[in-house]
């Protein structure tokens, strides 16, 4: 059975900085990896399976049309897939594995921090689009597209992570004061 892809290699090349002559095998594998490892958890199993079946129906049934809700959902999924696939393809595109070992493929004018800059840029964009997708799924009219409750919504923009838990100022002040010895009031 052929695997269903939410994003084709051609769409990835058209919507990113990937050049035409990049190995499609590596891009195809990174699309499948991101889709299986992360997108399925964001959407939830039921929604993921339903959308996969819709994609299969769209390819196999002539004259099949998607509903407006599904089209909007696919439009929110596409940028998540693009940046997730780019993020997953950075390492394989930089290295070549052969029977002689692992070789680092670099251009003569490439700098050491270029891949790290790309990775942090793509991570920030992926997290932003992931947040938009989750917010859309929570607010759309379709009751089937509710994101799972255990999905991580602490997004790491530019290296700063904001956790989901509540911040208690009084408790934080008390904890800090006890460590420094400034909190000596006795409450009667």
Assess whether pLDDT exceeds 90 at residue 143.
no
Whether residue 3 is contained in a domain is answered as: no
Average predicted confidence (pLDDT) for the chain: 79
Task: Please write the tens of the pLDDT for every residue from 56-109.
Answer: 888 788 888 888 888 888 899 999 999 999 988 888 877 777 777 776 766 666
Please report the pLDDT score of residue 35 as a whole number.
92
d(CA 105, CA 108): 10
d(CA 83, CA 101): 29
Residue 48 near residue 80, CB atoms below 8 Å: no
Whether residue 4 is contained in a domain is answered as: no
Whether residue 2 is contained in a domain is answered as: no
Whether residue 100 is contained in a domain is answered as: yes
Whether residue 132 is contained in a domain is answered as: yes
Residue 86 near residue 18, CB atoms below 8 Å: yes
56 is written with which tokens?
A: 């299969």
Task: Please write the tens of the pLDDT for every residue from 14-42.
Answer: 988 888 888 888 899 999 999 998 888 88
Whether residue 56 is contained in a domain is answered as: yes
Whether residue 185 is contained in a domain is answered as: no
Q: Give the domain extent around 72.
A: 9-180
Q: Give the chain's domain count.
A: 1
Whether residue 70 is contained in a domain is answered as: yes
């Amino acid at each position: 059975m052929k695997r269903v892809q939410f994003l084709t290699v051609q769409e990835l090349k058209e919507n990113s900085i990937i050049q035409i002559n990049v190995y499609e095998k590596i891009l195809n594998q990174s699309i499948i990896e991101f889709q299986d490892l992360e997108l399925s958890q964001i959407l939830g199993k039921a929604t993921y399976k339903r959308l996969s079946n819709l994609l299969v129906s769209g390819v196999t049934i002539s004259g099949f049309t998607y509903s407006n809700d599904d089209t909007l959902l696919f439009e929110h999924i596409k940028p998540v897939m693009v940046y997730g696939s780019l993020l997953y393809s950075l390492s394989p595109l930089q290295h070549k594995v052969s029977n002689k070992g692992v070789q680092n493929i670099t251009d003569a004018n490439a700098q050491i921090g270029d891949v790290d800059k790309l990775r942090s840029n793509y991570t920030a964009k992926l997290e932003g689009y992931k947040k938009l997708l989750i917010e859309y799924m929570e607010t759309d009219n379709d009751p089937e597209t509710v994101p799972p409750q255990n999905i991580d919504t602490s997004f790491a923009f530019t290296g700063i992570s904001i956790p989901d838990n509540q911040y208690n100022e009084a408790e934080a002040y008390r904890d800090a004061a006890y460590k420094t010895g400034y909190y000596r009031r006795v409450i009667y």
